[in-house]
Structure 1
């Protein structure tokens, strides 16, 4: 069971999606998320640390909102998995102080990032 985080920590991320099953397949295949369905219009995900949800009751807002960034211990391997799952890489791997990251577009058009620390 998920623990409640400390005040001010990111605790839940929710995506409006057009196809919940497609989103579950995409994120499950690439990141290994597990899901709990709550009816036909909502599925909760758990990534091992943070919980969130996929909802089909509101319009998709691709590219909007804050940039959600995932951590990956193997950046290039994760990029290959994303591309194999149909993601579009919209910003190739680049260095920043403390690591490297890239940005991708998921099946609903959300722009997300993946990072790893410097080797």
Structure 2
């Protein structure tokens, strides 16, 4: 079982999935699992993915894990975080996005849903 708050995934924006995959494959030998035309996941020491449909996100998105997503959302708000995307479904589970007091955007996910 995973523990709450574990850095579990890293999403990176992509201006084009085919070009991004070609670069990382040629440069580093990475392999990918495609989740539609706008998302390619990798497992290269840290799980992550490139997102071509990132809703304007232009920075890496660290994704933390939580066993109980609604409870973690409440804890993030109580600690001073600002929720920027409430809980939503995505392939693999549910997640929400928040900004920390320094303005960094992060996400928290869980298998629930």
What TM-score do the two structures reach when normalised by structure 1? Answer: 0.47
The higher-RCO structure (CA 8 Å, 6+ apart) is 2
What TM-score do the two structures reach when normalised by structure 2? Answer: 0.49
